[in-house]
Structure 1
């Protein structure tokens, strides 16, 4: 899975541990959930951090939902669930790894 470089123009807010936005571990960096988008710091600016492609999370038997115990992140038109360092999103009867 790759992440295209898509700069978030005119993003004056500086994310950090105390900014009030949900921290989302993502590989070697931390994304911040902000208004349905995920932002990551890169080269002195903030990028939209969106996965490229469709990656199914195999053998994921756990059903995420309102009381599953995992943190939720608004992501565009759906909810992602933070689970073991991944964001899971329901998609056509299975869970995707975002």
Structure 2
């Protein structure tokens, strides 16, 4: 899965350990949840960290929801669930792997 490189051009806030935004481990880096977006530091600027394409998480028997035990992060018009280093989003009867 690849990630789109979409620079967030007017991002003056520096994310970090104490910035007040939820840190979301994502592969080899950390995304920060900020106003329904996920930001990633890259080459001196911040990118919108969004998946390219649709990747269904196959064989996901666990149902996410209130009380499921996984942290949540607001993402646009839905909620992602942080599960085993991935963000899962309910979509059309399955979970997408972000």
TM-score exceeds 0.5: yes
The aligned counterpart of 2:72 is: 72
How many aligned residue pairs are there? 98
The aligned counterpart of 2:46 is: 46
CA distances 1:37-92 after superposition (whole Å, capped 9, x unpaired) = 00000011100000000111111010000111111000110000000100000000
Q: Please give the alpha-carbon distance, in whole angstroms, between the structure 1 residues aligned to 2:92 and 2:19.
A: 34
Q: Give runs of ≥4 in structure 1 deviating > 3 Å.
A: none
- For structure 1, the residue ranges without an aligned partner over 5 or more in a row are none
The aligned counterpart of 2:55 is: 55
Q: Please give the alpha-carbon distance, in whole angstroms, between the structure 1 residues aligned to 2:52 and 2:28.
A: 17
- For structure 2, the residue ranges without an aligned partner over 5 or more in a row are none
Cα RMSD over matched residues? Answer: 0.6
**1:17-56 pair list within 5 angstroms:** 17-56=17-56
1:5 is paired with a residue whose SS is strand
Q: Please give the alpha-carbon distance, in whole angstroms, between the structure 2 residues aligned to 1:9 and 1:63.
A: 37
The aligned counterpart of 1:16 is: 16
